[in-house]
Structure 1
Amino acid sequence: MTSLAALTALCPPPAAVPPAPDWSQVEDTLGMDLPQDYKELITRYGPGQFCGFITLYQPHAPSEWADLTGPMPARLRAQIEEVRQAARHPWQLPHSPENLFAMGVTGNGDYLFWVTQPADTPDAWTIAVNEALRAPWFTYNGSLTDFLAGVLSGTTSVPMFPRDLLGSGPAFTPSTLRSSTPVAGARTAVSTRAIRDWANANGYDLPERGRIPIEIIEAWKQENPS
């Protein structure tokens, strides 16, 4: 049984879901490929919450707070080290912030990240969970779908998650908000062709694929405020 089959047997998806995004376009926008299990998971479940607690970021979500293609992943990556250094006793990070890409959040403000190593093998990415960008961190050596199946079956215990998370059993509640359709030529807050062209024209050493560093995104915003 595949991880997705195990998850859907444990926690049935909605009978009807919004159309899946154009994954090629999403990956072009992000400048990186995404794990296949994530794409299948979003296609099967659509937007919503697991156990009224875990929300996965969606491409082109109506709110930037849950938009995989919006500013949150880059913003959180930049804030991880800022929060750590601001602490009286900085803690050790289990992964470099540059290797973390946020793709989910909980009702308690815990963040779910992909550990994007190896960068060119997204199906090998593992999971890290963090409590509001502070210590502690929890790492899971498996895919996102494996992680969800483990959490919802009770076989994977995440210390920062509520003990009564499964008190009413595993369930998925669809969101009533619909993802927004990207408009051709519209600017996005994460990586775009415009940002890459600007960076290359201004002397930045930026490869054709891969995440755009937050400092380049911020520099582009300063030059293009409108």
Structure 2
Amino acid sequence: MSIQTIIKLVPPPEKPKGLRKNRRWDRVEEKIGNELPADYKIFIETYGSGLFAGFIRIFNPFDSSEYISLLRMSTTVVDIYQDIIKSYGDVGFPFVFFPMEKGLLPCGNDENGNHLFWLTGTDSEKWKIVVLERGAPNWQLFDMGLTDFLANALTKKIRCKIWPSDYPGNRKSFTFECF
């Protein structure tokens, strides 16, 4: 499935925004301290920065915006959720945050303020997706990578219980709005 299915559902922009000419994935991965999944890299190279399917933003390591930059948001979002989880006390939240081993690393958000994370591990090609609800430690784990998650959500093969019950609706195609 993955990127080819996504391209059919959500046509990419002719000129993706937020991509530097001299972008270096090796430098991003050095700063993150880990290799990033190949499907994520292809997604960013294909779409750049923008609103995917009218609802989702995927953080872009090459975008200068503090609200889209993978490197900036990885710290900001983790800090927010660590504070939320501390305020709730022991609610059985089963995750730790990156850079801890098998920690959650933010990779995007949605229009409702919920966040998408990778559940990291030693092999980035096996990272899973976790969606955390804004303002609460409610979560849902998806045993698939980012592009499979997006394709399956848009084709209704999976349902994210944290998203509105009517998303993605009955549409057969979606748009990508560049920032």
CA distance in 1, matches of 2:10, 2:53: 9
Question: Would you say the 8 A contact 1:46–1:174 is kept in 2?
Answer: no
Q: What residue identity is the alignment partner of 1:57?
A: F
Give the structure 1 partner of residue 91 of structure 2.
91
CA distance in 1, matches of 2:175, 2:124: 25
The answer to whether structure 1 residue 114 and structure 2 residue 118 are counterparts is yes
CA distance in 2, matches of 1:12, 1:168: 17
Using the TM superposition, name which of 147-156 and 43-52 deviates more: 43-52
Share of identical aligned residues, percent? Answer: 30
CA distance in 2, matches of 1:10, 1:51: 9
Q: Provide, for residues 90-142 of structure 1, a one-character-per-residue CA deviation record: whole Å limited to 9, x for no partner.
A: 42113222301101011111000011112xx1111101000015231000001
CA distance in 1, matches of 2:146, 2:42: 11
Give the structure 2 partner of residue 188 of structure 1.
none
Q: Based on CA coordinates, which of the two structures has the bigger radius of gyration?
A: 1
Give the structure 2 partner of residue 157 of structure 1.
159
Query: How many residues align structurally?
Result: 171
Give the structure 1 partner of residue 28 of structure 2.
26
Backbone CA RMSD of aligned residues: 1.9
Give the structure 1 partner of residue 133 of structure 2.
131
Cα pair distance change 1:75/1:15, threshold 3 Å: closer
Q: Following superposition of structure 1 onto structure 2, how do residues 189-204 of structure 1 map, counting pairs within 5 Å?
A: none
Matched residue of 1:16: which SS?
coil
Question: Would you say the 8 A contact 2:132–2:140 is kept in 1?
Answer: yes
Question: Would you say the 8 A contact 1:14–1:45 is kept in 2?
Answer: yes
Cα pair distance change 1:30/1:151, threshold 3 Å: same
Matched residue of 2:67: which SS?
helix
Matched residue of 2:115: which SS?
strand
Q: What residue identity is the alignment partner of 2:167?
A: L
Q: Provide, for residues 13-39 of structure 1, a one-character-per-residue CA deviation record: whole Å limited to 9, x for no partner.
A: 123324563212221222221100000
CA distance in 1, matches of 2:79, 2:47: 30
Cα pair distance change 1:16/1:61, threshold 3 Å: closer
Gaps of 5+ in 1: 177-226
CA distance in 2, matches of 1:46, 1:63: 12
The answer to whether structure 1 residue 79 and structure 2 residue 80 are counterparts is yes
Give the structure 1 partner of residue 58 of structure 2.
56
What's the offset of the Cα at 1:168?
Answer: 6.5
Question: Would you say the 8 A contact 1:51–1:165 is kept in 2?
Answer: no
CA distance in 2, matches of 1:172, 1:57: 17
What's the offset of the Cα at 1:4?
Answer: 1.1
Q: What residue identity is the alignment partner of 2:3?
A: L
Gaps of 5+ in 2: none
Give the structure 1 partner of residue 104 of structure 2.
100
